[in-house]
Amino acid sequence: MNNTKDYTYKAKRNLVFLFFIFITCILLLCFRVYSIVNAESLNYKKRVLSQQVNNSVRYNNLLEPKRGTIYDRNGRVFAESKKVYDLIFDPGVLAKCDEEDIDETINFLVNTYDFKEMDLKDLLKNRAFSNYEVLASNLNYSEIENEFDDIRKRKYKGLHLKEAYKRLYPNNNMLCDVLGFVDKGNQGRWGVEETYGNYLRGEEGREFGVINDGNYIENKYIEPKNGNDVVLTIDQTIQYYVEEAIKANLESNPKNVYVVATNPQNGEVLAMASYPDYNLNDPYDLTAYFTEEEIKNMPLEKRTEFLYGLWRNFNISDTYEPGSTFKPFVAAAAIEEKKVNLFETFHCSGSKKLYGHSISCWKSEGHGDLTVVGALENSCNVAFMDIGAKIGKDIFYEYQQLFGLGTRTNIDLIGEGDSEYYDLDGLGPVQLATCSFGQGFTITPLQLITSFGSLINGGYLYEPHMMKKIVNENGNVVKVNDDKRVRQVISSKTAQTIKEALHSVVENGTGKRVAIEGYDIGGKTGTAEKLPRSAEKYMVSFLGFAPVDNPKIALLVIVDEPESPKPTSIFAQNIFKSIMEKTLPYMNIYPRIEGEKQGNSTVDKPKVNADTTTDKKTEENIEPEI
């Protein structure tokens, strides 16, 4: 009996225990189900809200900043951004509206903007998954003024306006090589637009929706930060004179023309231009150079190559042999190191033989006896080979480095090219001879005119720069580009001597064509034979400055491959003179009164006139310089 009772008791106890376990499991399961239902309900609600946010362009709108303006040194606009509007169609929203709202929106678009009703209905049907279809872009406010408020207030379902900015260049082609342009992503391409893109671009804003703790959509707005303005050292008026002079002097049908103007006293670039150029408002347009048929049949590779050639800034990116415009640097080094004096003479018989090589002067019959000044006036190759030999390769190479010829100028523009020149070991007697008259090495036009500044400003080399200052939209200065003096290359006495010698080149020598009555102008002609020599292609140039006593502007003009049986620097001199005739009065530099001097000579020197050569120069024998 006792065993039976014990068994019954244990069974009941086990049954109760199992019952409690069962109840506990049921309770736990109910709690879990309740938790899941509540959690998933909240998540589902959030997903719905999130979907609403994602499907609403209004809540996911990138707000484009206004790109900064580019000004010239006097506050005149080179590039600016104007507010425009894109008309956005939202099929995803409109498809969920009733027929009355759909008809109202479509009728509005058909009657106001001449869209085709069938096209809009096809778009509504086939793009119902889309919330962003651009119907029209770059609309000015004047084009949508009457409907502006209605669209912005969402009177028409599935239709809204998106603000944007369009980059405009009011002067079209002007300064195109320097400015560069902006692509569709508001990214600068080439020139100032790319170099100073981080300052100009600004920061995007955003308008979007977030789900807050109360589980409803809340608008958030992050204001865009507009870009900074860039003020250039360029003078728009001088730039205009430069480009007009190029256009007016294309009778020789040159392959290219390049011009750079600087302030030799501080390295500021005043103007920079080239031919051919392009329209900054449509940089891909080739209709100025090819017919529609030619463009249509043009291979992509050729089209790209031509465009890159248009966009590329030769003045800073490409190199060439400077020819006789390099001779003043050789003269300066020789005078500074006292290897020659101004009264010393050199004999030119028409050529010079070196180690089995016969190197000719441009004047086959020779110049006879010449002083250093006479050698510059007549641009005599033989005399400068002798001067180079007196200097020696060590001093020649040292001054090439001191003048910055062969190294980058560090101008604040992307794409500066590298020079090619002999190192000290490679500068043998023949190489030294040819380099002494500007052949056998290459430099960029900017390197040449930058180094030239040190010849005429008292001997100081300055780093060239294009940006004067950067200011924010409130007018506060963000950055200033101070003048940077690199080093003193030659003494002020040597610089004064070179200035006066270059003045004599214009008064008595090969640079006569740039003379302007009442002005003291100095400069040097140049004619360089391009590689390969057998092609007989030439680049002619003129490098000059004014006024002689206190130079305010240095100007380099290069004409590439003029079509002429006798290519000479005359083509470059004509452009130089055209620019200076207008630029000097604009810069408040006026012709001297009769008997008055613009410059004062302070250096003892021989009389700088035709007597520095034994040969009487004529109009015919001073033009060539090959």
Question: Residue ranges of the domains in the chain?
Answer: 2-54, 61-232, 269-277+313-612
CA 127/CA 233 separation, integer angstroms: 51
Task: Give 91: exposed, middle or buried? Use CB within 10 Å, 0-12, 13-18, 19+.
Answer: buried
Whole-angstrom CA distances from 226 to 63, 192, 216, 472 are: 11, 17, 32, 8
Helix axis angle, 445-456 to 327-336, nearest 10°: 40
| pLDDT given at position 210 | 56
DSSP 8-state class, residue 589: -
Say if residues 110 and 117 touch (Cβ distance below 8 Å): yes
| pLDDT given at position 154 | 76
User: Which CATH class for the 269-277+313-612 domain?
Assistant: alpha beta
- Does 269-277+313-612 match 61-232 at the fold level? no
Own/partner contacts of 426-430, CB < 8 Å, gap of 24 or more, are 427/393, 427/396, 427/397, 428/393, 429/354, 429/355, 429/389, 430/354, 430/355, 430/357, 430/359
Residue with tokens 């995007």: 204
CA Rg, the chain, in Å?
37
CA 493/CA 566 separation, integer angstroms: 38
CA 172/CA 308 separation, integer angstroms: 18
Mean pLDDT per 10-residue segment, the chain (626 residues): 58 68 75 59 50 46 88 97 90 83 86 85 82 85 84 81 91 97 90 96 78 55 90 98 97 95 98 96 94 93 94 94 96 97 91 87 89 95 95 95 92 93 91 93 96 97 97 94 96 97 96 95 92 83 97 97 88 97 96 62 37 37 44
Contacts of 564 (CB under 8 A, 6+ apart): 252, 571
CA 556/CA 562 separation, integer angstroms: 17
How many Å separate Cα 257 from the centre of its chain?
17
Residue 8 in tokens: 């019954």
Say if residues 335 and 497 touch (Cβ distance below 8 Å): yes
CATH 2.160.10.10 fits 61-232, yes or no: no
Helix axis angle, 99-113 to 117-126, nearest 10°: 130
